[in-house]
Structure 1
Amino acid sequence: MSSPTGQDTFKGWVAHDAKTPLRYTSYTPKPFTPTDVEISISHCGICGTDIHTLRSGWGPADYPCVVGHEIIGTVTRLGSAVSSQSNPNGIRLGDRVGVGAQSDACLRADCEACADGEESYCTRMTGTYNGRYSDKSKSHGGFAEKWRGPAHFVFRIPDSLPSAEAAPLLCAGVTVFAPMRKYGVGPGKTVGIVGVGGLGHLGILFARALGADRVVAISRSSGKKADAVGGLGADGFIATGEEKGWAKKYSRSLDVILCTVSAHDMPFAQYLRLLKRDGTFVQVGAPEDALPPLMAWSLIQKGVKVTGSNIGSPGDIRAMLALAAEKRVLPWIQKRDMVDVNQALVDMHEGKARYRYVLRNVNEQAKL
């Protein structure tokens, strides 16, 4: 719709501060440019990042703000300059598409990250929400009826992936897939996944899909053991808060550990004991506080690597969607109507999701 002044407006669930519920109201999207697309949103997953942002947990949010960066919908408008060069994903009007956590980057040839196909590490990257585009307009996310943004970061969804299940893949899925791809998870590798939640359960699924020899779920309690081993396909389970001497018992058993939790008091040094010589620990969970301190010998004695990973590049997303379609990697989700978003956020914060909430707009597209 347009305002009386002719300025475009969308409607969505807008946060105005860190304490009050989201309010369904109008807001102003970025100006439509020749390289943009517009999407009618059918589904949007709820990510932990949404909660951190809404409460200004990682720093002051740029209110008013519309969060949501696991977006699925239909292309309803295509910019005139969306060509094979600016549209590497080959999207067309009417396509079912998705948008993840990033909606822009400089894409310049002299940008090392963009030139290497690592747009998620561009120093000028724009998040799908709570960011600013180069023209200083705000980026707004998918808790809304529509989304508008650069075609470069919009991806066709394979026909075999249902819309609701595809939504969490755009952020949670690629966040765990990208470091596994980078650090060689596959045949011959043993992998540990710390945390069995929105990210962690997808970590188990993708490690299996990539063909890892052994996948071990790691959690504080055994409460999710049945899900991890019986349902998701993990080969083993370590309950760090219940099993005495676990770090010694499983020492030097894993090639890669993917840590999906955001707890600032995790047993960091003990996790590193689980790594084999030259193993890799990858942090993808982002706590609001600092990580625990670490003694140098935890790194030196086995030559282990401690690193992090930030979402995933467009190339990672395309590869992830292709693998998910081929291997039927489908997150465990619970559908919630978008009109109930405030209660869904409360339930998400309280850890009730098993293992991802997906909001759906109540219209014909939400039946996809």
Structure 2
Amino acid sequence: MSTDYSFKGWVGKSSDCIEKQGLVYTDIEPKKFTEDDVDIRISHCGICGSDVHTLTNGWGGTHYPITVGHEIVGTAVKVGKNVQGIKVGDRVGVGAQSSSCLSCGECKVDNEPYCDGMVTTYNGTYPDGTQSTGGYADYTRVPSHFVFKIPDALPSEVAAPMLCGGITMYSPLKRHGCGPGKSVGIIGIGGLGHFGILFAKALGADRITAISRKSNKAADALAMGADAYVATDDDPKWASRHANTLDLIVSTVNSPKLPIDSYLQLLRPHGTFVQVGAPEDSVPGFSVFPLIVKGVSISGSIIGSPKDIEEMLELSARKGVKSWVNPWPLEKVNDALQAFERGEPRYRIVLVNEKHVGK
């Protein structure tokens, strides 16, 4: 396969780049190639909430100019001599992490996202000093430990958003025992939350409750596999009415107004509340009495390990898990980001690099 290609992508240069439809198509600098790396010709890339938080500098620390996107699927076009399990021509994907030290205690137990040397797929810095660059682009270069073969049963537009949105939900569900005998609640039925329902169903949860402010997504949630739907704006007594019904809750909400006290009411004794949504501001305080009198736990989670991702992809292929996606041409990324900001996707926008599809 030809290595005659250049690294170009859609670059944000300031925190108002979404508002002003200001991403521009230009040259980007990849990391220096090593024999552990894979170059990928990108065909698809999902839009994630993290992309927006980063482009707008909502979390702080954005290094402009920046190319975001960490739900990447494409074709391996150059493979280093040290790489195992991937060859030129393979359909591969990359998620939100692109590097770690691979030698610390966390890395040795398949816990790479918690490595002190973790490098995010964009807005991170590799050991050689170059900035990591994301998937709103034609090509990317990533260390092979964080590059995954995509199962044949998963179309590229279905697989791409699983590599961040999907694994962000799969990992805490699996870690906290989602499966037969468990009653699971998913708070926030959006890009992340819809994966929560899909994977709780695939993992065999006895009962899945979708929780959202409005009732407008009820039909979708039930079609995804939810058994019940709670619209909190429609029922002032929702917390007491559904108290002590859930073993595990995963919250995708990133509002700083999280009603944590009410959510904890929903848990049975020794239940677990896991937060994956990342507000830009601090969340309110809450009563610690549920932690004491019911023995419940509060936890957090970030993406998942390479082992988790491979397991998730295999499960999705075997169980027929299908992301709900809205394709957009990559060249219309500025329009797609504004649609994302308006809350239009049902439930994940996937950018399609049309010149690379089918190659």
Category of TM-score, reference length = shorter chain: over 0.9
Alpha-carbon shift at residue 366 of structure 1 (Å):
2.0
**2:131 aligned with 1:134:** no
| 1:220 equivalent among 213, 216, 236 | 213
Please name the residue that 1:146 is paired with.
139
1:180-230: CA deviation from partner (whole Å, max 9, x where unpaired): 11000000000000010000001001000000000000001111111111x
AA aligned to 2:235 is E
Please name the residue that 2:312 is paired with.
320
Please name the residue that 2:116 is paired with.
123
Contact in 2 for aligned 1:16/1:64 (Cα 8 Å): yes
| 1:297 equivalent among 278, 282, 289 | 289
Contact in 1 for aligned 2:6/2:139 (Cα 8 Å): no
AA aligned to 2:357 is A
Alpha-carbon distance in 2 for matches of 1:212, 1:328: 16
- Secondary structure in structure 2 of the residue aligned to 1:281: strand
**2:230 aligned with 1:233:** no
**2:45 aligned with 1:44:** yes
Alpha-carbon shift at residue 9 of structure 1 (Å):
5.2
Contact in 1 for aligned 2:270/2:297 (Cα 8 Å): yes
- Secondary structure in structure 2 of the residue aligned to 1:132: coil
Alpha-carbon distance in 2 for matches of 1:261, 1:249: 21
| 1:104 equivalent among 99, 108, 113 | 99
| 1:13 equivalent among 7, 10, 15 | 10
AA aligned to 1:213 is D
Alpha-carbon shift at residue 91 of structure 1 (Å):
1.2
AA aligned to 1:15 is G
Provide structure 2 residue ranges, at least 5 long, that are not aligned to the other structure.
none
| 1:196 equivalent among 186, 189, 192 | 189
Q: How do 1:274-353 and structure 2 match up within 5 A? A: 274-353=266-345
Alpha-carbon shift at residue 266 of structure 1 (Å):
2.1
**2:275 aligned with 1:268:** no
Alpha-carbon shift at residue 296 of structure 1 (Å):
1.5
TM-score (norm 2): 0.96
Please name the residue that 1:256 is paired with.
248
Alpha-carbon distance in 2 for matches of 1:214, 1:358: 30
Alpha-carbon shift at residue 241 of structure 1 (Å):
1.2
Please name the residue that 1:356 is paired with.
348
- Residue correspondences, number: 351
Please name the residue that 1:23 is paired with.
24
Alpha-carbon shift at residue 135 of structure 1 (Å):
1.3
Provide structure 1 residue ranges, at least 5 long, that are not aligned to the other structure.
1-7
Alpha-carbon distance in 2 for matches of 1:201, 1:296: 29
| 2:162 equivalent among 153, 169, 176 | 169
AA aligned to 1:366 is V
Alpha-carbon distance in 2 for matches of 1:96, 1:291: 41
Alpha-carbon distance in 1 for matches of 2:149, 2:314: 10
- Secondary structure in structure 2 of the residue aligned to 1:37: strand
Please name the residue that 1:366 is paired with.
357
Alpha-carbon distance in 1 for matches of 2:321, 2:254: 24
Alpha-carbon distance in 1 for matches of 2:53, 2:230: 28
1:251-284: CA deviation from partner (whole Å, max 9, x where unpaired): 1100000001111112111000000000000000
Alpha-carbon shift at residue 244 of structure 1 (Å):
2.5
1:97-139: CA deviation from partner (whole Å, max 9, x where unpaired): 000000000001xx12101110011011000000001111110
Please name the residue that 2:81 is paired with.
80
Contact in 2 for aligned 1:34/1:81 (Cα 8 Å): yes
AA aligned to 1:68 is G
Please name the residue that 1:210 is paired with.
203
Q: Percent identity?
A: 53
Please name the residue that 1:5 is paired with.
none
Alpha-carbon shift at residue 310 of structure 1 (Å):
0.7
Alpha-carbon distance in 1 for matches of 2:47, 2:253: 16
Contact in 2 for aligned 1:9/1:28 (Cα 8 Å): no
1:124-165: CA deviation from partner (whole Å, max 9, x where unpaired): 100000000111111000000001010000000000000111
- Secondary structure in structure 1 of the residue aligned to 2:116: coil
Runs of 4+ in 1 over 6 A off after TM superposition: none
TM-score (norm 1): 0.94
Alpha-carbon distance in 2 for matches of 1:213, 1:64: 47
